[in-house]
Amino acid sequence: MKKYFIILALLVFTIFLSGCINILPTSGEDSITPGNGRLKIYLTDTPGDYLEVNITISKIEAHIAGEEEGDEGIWVVLKEWPSGEEPTFDLIKLQDVSELLVDGIFEIGKYNQLRIFITKSSIKVESEVIEENDKEIDIVNEVPFEIFDVEIPSAYQTGIKLIHPFEIIDGITTELTIDFDAEKSIIKTGNGNYKLKPTIKITSTYTGEIEEPVEE
């Protein structure tokens, strides 16, 4: 009988302990751990005349500024997609809207650059050929079109460097919006080819309460 009461008591204690564990606070995905801040990076586009401007991004990095003279700082990876899973964005579809590229918790500090690695790019343009029999028709714009690859001079190897100082602050969410001007970024060469010469503007916003230092 005594053994029965011991087993029953252990069972009740186990159930009670389980209930306590379930109600303990847990760190959700939105929580920011001390000494870190949240960084979000969005991609948008200024209106242009192309039917499509497609870019495939493989990696995004940020440069932490050196704290002392002569300290060159370091590059840190903010987001890297596995080979074969790199996302492709049509910048024309991002006019007046934005696409979330990065959302994560990172070390606090002062950053001075971003670096975007673009592996390939292409554009869709309205065909200048009047005969439409041998041309595909763009469903949205109802016009014949042609697709051209866009040459990326060095963005694949070294990335597109964007000088834009920003700060990741303890407990604060930093949001960067990359405004990719597709119209100005595509250059048509004399031989009829197209090159990518990025024209990009970045804006920063900060969300959250920054604690004021206590005066002694």
Question: Is it the case that residue 154 has pLDDT exceeding 80?
Answer: no
Q: What pLDDT shows up at residue 155?
A: 60
Q: What pLDDT shows up at residue 48?
A: 76
Question: Is it the case that residue 8 has pLDDT exceeding 50?
Answer: no
* H-state helical runs in 28-158: 155-158
193 compared with 143, residue with greater pLDDT: 193
What would the mean pLDDT of 110-116 be, rounded to a whole number? 95
| CB-based contact 194:146 (threshold 8 Å) | no
The pair of structure tokens assigned to 139 is: 């469903």
Question: Is it the case that residue 88 has pLDDT exceeding 70?
Answer: yes
pLDDT tens sequence across 16-69: 444 443 333 333 345 677 889 999 999 999 877 889 999 999 999 999 987 766
Query: 139: helix, coil or strand?
Result: coil
| CB-based contact 79:159 (threshold 8 Å) | no
Question: Is it the case that residue 3 has pLDDT exceeding 50?
Answer: no
Query: 71 falls in which pLDDT band (50, 70, 90)?
Result: confident
* Burial per residue of 172-187, b for 16 or more beta-carbon CB atoms within 10 angstroms, e otherwise: bbbbbebbbbbeebbe
The pair of structure tokens assigned to 78 is: 């903010």
pLDDT tens sequence across 163-185: 999 999 999 999 999 999 988 99
Q: What pLDDT shows up at residue 116?
A: 95
Question: Is it the case that residue 145 has pLDDT exceeding 90?
Answer: no
Q: Quote the mean pLDDT of the chain.
A: 80
